């Protein structure tokens, strides 16, 4: 049985604040040309915002998953097909940056242009979710 939260606002604020910290870390990593880690932190930033949204909507702890689309779905977030596609792709940044069997391929894919494109998309999704919080 899901545990009802006593202080939803406090937990939502925690997720939002740590998401902002991770977003700023993403930008620092981008400027240092650590593009694969920048995108990993972009994933974490969006994950935390989706967990904030889930908690706000459901009043219970967010599920233990890194799948961004699944978090959006479980939170009842209405999402466009374009944003759904972006969430699926951004979710891969979590696995690709962390696990050795994916890491080398992801590292070579993470060019400056690729990173800039996805940071822009991460910013768009971040702003969209924040509007609903």
* pLDDT, tens digit, 9 for 90 and up, residues 65-79: 999 999 999 999 999
In sequence order, which ranges of the chain are alpha helices (DSSP H)?
A: 8-31, 35-58, 68-74, 81-98, 100-109, 112-132
Burial class from Cβ neighbours inside 10 Å (0-12, 13-18, 19+) for residue 27 reads middle
% of residues, the chain, pLDDT over 90: 82
Quickly state the pLDDT bin for 132 (edges 50, 70, 90).
Answer: very high
Of 82, 85, 12, 1, nearest to 52 (Cα)? 12
What mean pLDDT is reported for the chain?
91
pLDDT band at 96 (very low <50, low <70, confident <90, very high): low
The pTM of this model reads 0.90
Chain segment 38-66, per-residue pLDDT in tens: 999 999 999 999 999 999 999 999 999 99
Q: What would the two tokens of residue 91 be?
A: 């979710």
Answer yes or no: is pLDDT of 99 > 90.
no
**Predicted pLDDT of residue 74:** 96
């Amino acid at each position: 049985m899901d545990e009802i939260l006593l202080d939803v606002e406090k937990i939502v604020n925690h997720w939002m604040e740590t998401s902002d910290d991770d977003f700023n870390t993403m930008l620092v990593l981008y400027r240092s040309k650590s593009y694969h880690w920048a995108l990993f932190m972009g994933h974490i930033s969006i994950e935390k915002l989706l967990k904030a949204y889930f908690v706000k909507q459901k009043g219970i702890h967010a599920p233990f998953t890194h799948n961004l689309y699944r978090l959006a779905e479980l939170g009842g977030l209405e999402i466009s097909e374009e944003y759904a596609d972006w969430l699926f792709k951004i979710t891969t940044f979590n696995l690709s940056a962390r696990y050795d069997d994916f890491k080398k391929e992801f590292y070579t894919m993470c060019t400056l242009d690729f990173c800039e494109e996805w940071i822009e998309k991460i910013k768009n999704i971040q702003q969209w979710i924040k509007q609903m919080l």
